[in-house]
Amino acid sequence: MKVACISFFIAFILLVILFIAWVCMKVGTENRIRIIFIGDPLTFLPWKGSGTRSYMLEYVPLSCEGTCLLARAWTFMPSGECGEQGSIRVETVNGEIQMVGEPYNSGPYCYNGAFLVISEKFVKLL
């Protein structure tokens, strides 16, 4: 009886150690990503991007370890009214994150403001 209790206790301790090691390993290999809404369009920066005449997703790469960039999107709205909240999707290794901005009107364009994206690994803006 005493040997069985000691064996059970040792097996339990080993399982706890394995679980802690697994959690530490998982956290170490995850892509931690942080997204901060800045709001201002930061028009003075050299934005690069792709899109059409009516929609543009733009970014400014920043220097850091991993991926750091500013991202924003604008839509051509000749009516002058920004409808719903604009959003940008950031696709990562572990899935995707959607950034929702507060759109505002600037002439015939509707901007959603800039986001700061910081990631340990590469990301894809959609």
- The residues pairing with 37 across neighbouring beta strands, listed in sequence order, are 115
Let me know: does 118 contact 33? Beta carbons within 8 Å. Answer: yes
Q: Which amino acid is at 4?
A: A
Q: Which amino acid is at 39?
A: G
pLDDT computed for residue 100 by the predictor: 74
| Alpha-carbon torsion, ordered 27, 117, 86, 60, to 10 deg | -150
pLDDT computed for residue 10 by the predictor: 62
Helix (H) or strand (E) holding 79: none
* CA separation for the pair 87, 50 (Å, rounded): 16
The series of mean pLDDT values per 10 residues for the chain, 126 residues long, is 72 60 54 76 84 87 84 83 70 71 81 82 76
Q: Any idea what DSSP says for residue 39? A: -
**pTM of the shown model:** 0.64
pLDDT computed for residue 50 by the predictor: 87
pLDDT computed for residue 62 by the predictor: 87
